[in-house]
């Protein structure tokens, strides 16, 4: 048995979209089960996201602190954003998010990991990039709005982030997965063995 996720699609007898929002929607599918029964499955339809674990020369990760209304918390996170620009390459979206949220650019980009955030209730796929060779971006800062107007920034050592993740102090999934993946990659074949930034992403296919 090969331990690898594989694409598969069960028969859908009917589908409906009872809610359409600004960026996402809710879909209801009638799905045929292996025993022939048909069940309703409600899930959020999501455009996908990118996130950036930006690592500086002092082995610190660039973090932002942002209010997240659904969970009623201000969370420490890594820069991230929706793939809401039609046809945009995920790497270009990640570079845009790093600029907009932190006014930072990076010279070296790798794919750290790909995840489905909540596959039981949402089809969101996230590609988490590792960005190194950081420097300040040129030009004017991006004009923040909404929750981002209250955003704070910090650079925190990797070791401290690992401790805080395991202590239950940090909860953002991209931050948790990204930091622990970074540590695992270092303990394995090293960061330079990570996939290139333009590696195929079957969950959100894109033009190379």
Kindly give, in sequence order, each residue whose CB lies less than 8 Å from that of residue 181, ignoring residues fewer than 6 positions away: 112, 113, 128
Q: Which of 35, 42, 37, 48 is nearest to 16 (CA)?
A: 42
Residue 187: alpha-carbon gap to chain centroid:
22
| pLDDT tens string 70-102 | 999 999 999 999 998 877 899 999 999 999 999
11, 77, 124, 148: the active-site residue: 148
| pLDDT tens string 19-77 | 999 889 999 999 999 999 999 999 999 999 999 999 999 999 999 999 999 999 999 99
Annotated catalytic residue 148: yes
C-alpha to C-alpha distances, 65 to 57, 132, 157, nearest whole angstrom: 21, 21, 16
Kindly give, in sequence order, each residue whose CB lies less than 8 Å from that of residue 199, ignoring residues fewer than 6 positions away: 111
């Amino acid at each position: 048995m090969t331990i690898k996720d594989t694409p598969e699609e069960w028969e859908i007898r009917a589908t409906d979209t009872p809610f359409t929002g600004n960026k996402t929607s809710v879909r209801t599918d009638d799905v045929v089960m292996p025993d022939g029964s048909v069940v309703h499955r409600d899930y959020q339809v999501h455009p996908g996201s990118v996130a950036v674990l930006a690592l500086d020369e002092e082995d610190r990760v660039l973090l932002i602190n942002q209010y997240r209304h659904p969970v009623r918390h201000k969370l420490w996170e890594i820069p991230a954003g929706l793939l809401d620009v039609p046809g945009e390459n995920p790497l270009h979206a990640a570079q845009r998010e790093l600029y907009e949220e932190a006014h930072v650019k990076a010279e070296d980009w790798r794919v750290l990991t790909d995840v489905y955030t909540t596959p039981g209730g949402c089809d969101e796929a996230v590609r988490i990039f590792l960005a190194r060779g950081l420097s300040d971006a040129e030009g004017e800062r991006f004009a923040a709005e909404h929750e981002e107007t209250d955003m704070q920034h910090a650079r925190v050592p990797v070791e401290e982030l690992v401790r805080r993740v395991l202590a239950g102090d940090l909860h953002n999934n991209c931050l948790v997965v990204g930091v622990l993946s970074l540590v695992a990659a270092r303990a394995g074949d090293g960061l330079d063995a990570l996939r290139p930034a333009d590696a195929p992403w079957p969950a959100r296919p894109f033009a190379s």
